[in-house]
Amino acid sequence: MPARILDGTAVSNAIKDEVANQVAALTKCGLRPGLAVVLVGNNPASEIYVRNKVKASEQLGIHGELLTPPASITTTELLGIIGELNHRDEIDGILVQLPLPPQVDSKAVLMEVAPEKDVDGFHPLNVGLLSTQRPGLTPCTPTGVMELFRRTSIKVTGQTAVVVGRSDIVGKPMAMLLLNANATVTVCHSKTHDLAGVCRTADILVAAIGRPGMITRQFVKSGATVIDVGTSRVTNRADFDRYFRGNEKREREFAKKGSTLIGDVHPEVAEVAGAITPVPGGVGPLTIAMLMSNTVKACRIRRGSLIKMSDQTC
């Protein structure tokens, strides 16, 4: 029996509808949430992603700004830009699009973002709040995955979860969120012995390693829920045939565009999994939806006293 497809686009749309209603209520109180996105240089992939973020904010009624300093910017100059955004009261959320140019100290830049405006949830203060189960801003992608579980009735409590990948952006916070939700969690990485064997223990398997099609059916227990965080582009015919031979829809897309998307999970896993996220249309849309949600959350946290003063229903 084919796996149940977990529709990230549908869940994302539901979250955005809720955010739009929250923004409308706040705006009536004179408190329009604001998001500033900083994109350094001219990375085509990042430009597309950032445009989608700014477009989404505008559609939901959030004030959005895009700052585009040159690729030659120094760490000191970029820290200055972040400092100015920290002091602007109409900006509730600051997002620095990664990767940054090699001459820029990325850790220093992310540390400069005020924790209460850190809508990516990367600041050590927010990481600490997450690890101690206190309210704060949490990373968008893993938080989106948790929303997907909640809204599609995927059980987490008491389940065995395996996260493949230990990045600060996805792997580590994903593991912490699962642990906070009472799953038993294992984090795997490049040094893990018998990776396939460990993955086969999982009721919930999250793949966040950035290696296209690496998670094959040998990694997956029958009936497991598989979350595919990866996104890679297949551009050559041999790779396409390895992953998508016989898939008519993908064949048409590949013939038209010369490429197609694949995640970290091989398409054959849908034959053994109980539920699975597609690529595209799975985790990706949730990331932007949670960025919007975090911006509203940051607004509420920062301006809580004003909200209470203006209207108890805001």
**104-109, Cβ contacts within 8 angstroms, sequence gap of 24 or more:** 104/40, 104/73, 104/74, 104/75, 104/78, 105/75, 108/75, 108/79, 109/75, 109/78, 109/79, 109/82
Catalytic option among 16, 22, 92, 97: 97
Taken as a whole, the chain contains a residue count of 314
**pLDDT the model gives residue 48:** 81
**pLDDT the model gives residue 43:** 79
Q: In which residue ranges of the chain is pLDDT below 50?
A: 309-310, 312
Query: H-helix or E-strand containing 80?
Result: helix 75-87
Sheet with 225-228, edge to edge strand ranges: 4-5, 275-276, 225-228, 204-207, 160-164, 184-188
Which residues make up the CATH 3.40.50.720 domain(s) of the chain? Answer: 140-283
Is 17 marked active-site? Answer: no
* Angle, helices 140-151/8-28, rounded to nearest 10 degrees: 110
Q: Which of the four CATH numbers 3.40.1790.10, 3.40.50.10860, 3.40.50.970, 3.40.1160.10 does domain 30-117 have?
A: 3.40.50.10860
**pLDDT the model gives residue 308:** 55
Q: Which of 314, 202, 178 is nearest to 269 (CA)?
A: 202
Q: Which of the four CATH numbers 1.10.3210.10, 1.10.20.10, 3.40.640.10, 3.40.50.720 does domain 140-283 have?
A: 3.40.50.720
**pLDDT the model gives residue 95:** 96
**pLDDT the model gives residue 306:** 55
**pLDDT the model gives residue 305:** 56
Beta bridge pairs of residue 234: 260
Q: Is 135 left (phi over 0), alpha (psi -120 to 50) or beta?
A: beta
**pLDDT the model gives residue 42:** 83
Beta bridge pairs of residue 227: 206
Is 53 marked active-site? Answer: yes
Report the half-sphere exposure of 147 (CA within 13 A, side-chain side).
30
pTM, entire model: 0.94
**pLDDT the model gives residue 309:** 45
Distance CA 137, CA 132 (A): 13
Catalytic option among 92, 120, 228, 264: 120
On whether the CB atoms of residues 208 and 170 are closer than 8 A, the answer is yes
Which residues make up the CATH 3.40.50.10860 domain(s) of the chain? Answer: 30-117
Distance CA 210, CA 166 (A): 11
In sequence order, the 6+-apart residues with CB closer than 8 A to the CB of 97 are 37, 38, 39, 40, 46, 49, 50
**pLDDT the model gives residue 2:** 85
Pairing of strands 160-164, 63-67: unpaired
156 is written with which tokens? Answer: 């987490």
